[in-house]
Structure 1
Amino acid sequence: MDKLQTIQEVIAFVNEHSLAFIYVSQEDCSVCHALRPKLIELLKSYPKIELREVEADKVKAISAEYLIFSAPTFLFFVDGKEYIREGKFVQFKKLANALEKIYSFEENKV
């Protein structure tokens, strides 16, 4: 998974991709390291969703820009608007259901 290094890269990524998923982590976060492979595996089912990681301890402005207070945090944007926000204890079944609804709707748009 590619990493975004600045808040400007994060904002540009969200604005340039119609389906943008940001995984906010921290280097010393064991939960972050455990959820990362699960998220990558889940998103393999949705090839049009672009995924990037942001390390909150390196890109400190992410907290202020997106009101993130803990890691891990999952942010999913559709056309620049936040649609899904999950943090800490992510329920992957619930996340998968929400992504499926949005993804199928986006695929059927004309």
Structure 2
Amino acid sequence: MNEVKSFKAWQELLTQQEALLLFVKTDHCSVCEGLYPQVERLTEQYPFPFFYVNVAKVPEMAGQLSLFTAPVVLLFRQGKETARFARFVPLEQLQKRLDELKEACG
């Protein structure tokens, strides 16, 4: 997964990618650290990129995306959010939504 280092970079990604996943984490978050490798393992199964952002380093992202907790997994298609999973992410449901996104992208 590639890191998003600024809100401006994030805005550019949204216009450049047809679909993507964004994993949102923060400092000192044990749930984030436990979930990250599980989500990262899914990258090989999907044709669109996965990104992550640490909102402690890019706080503007939390405000712009209305993020109130971490971790959060967001799916986007054509610049619009299509799914949001927060705090405790059920991997089975996440994979189902990723499969739907993959189908929608062709």
Report the TM-score range of the alignment, normalised by the length of the smaller protein: over 0.9
1:83 maps to 82
Runs of 4 or more above 3 Å deviation: none
TM-score by length of 1: 0.91
Counterpart contact for 2:18–2:105, Cα < 8 Å: no
In the TM superposition, residue 40 of structure 1 has moved relative to its aligned partner by 1.0
Percent identity at matched positions? 25
TM-score by length of 2: 0.94
Q: Which runs of 5+ in 2 are unaligned?
A: none
Cα distance in 1 between the residues matched to 2:70 and 2:89: 11
Q: Which runs of 5+ in 1 are unaligned?
A: none
In the TM superposition, residue 14 of structure 1 has moved relative to its aligned partner by 1.6
The amino acid that maps onto 1:78 is R
Q: Say how many residue pairs are matched.
A: 106
SS of the residue 2:57 aligns to: coil
1:54 maps to 53
Q: Which moved more, 1:71-80 or 1:98-107?
A: 98-107
RMSD of aligned Cα (Å): 1.0
Cα distance in 2 between the residues matched to 1:104 and 1:2: 23
Counterpart contact for 2:2–2:51, Cα < 8 Å: yes
1:99 aligns with 2:98: yes
1:10 maps to 10
1:28 maps to 28
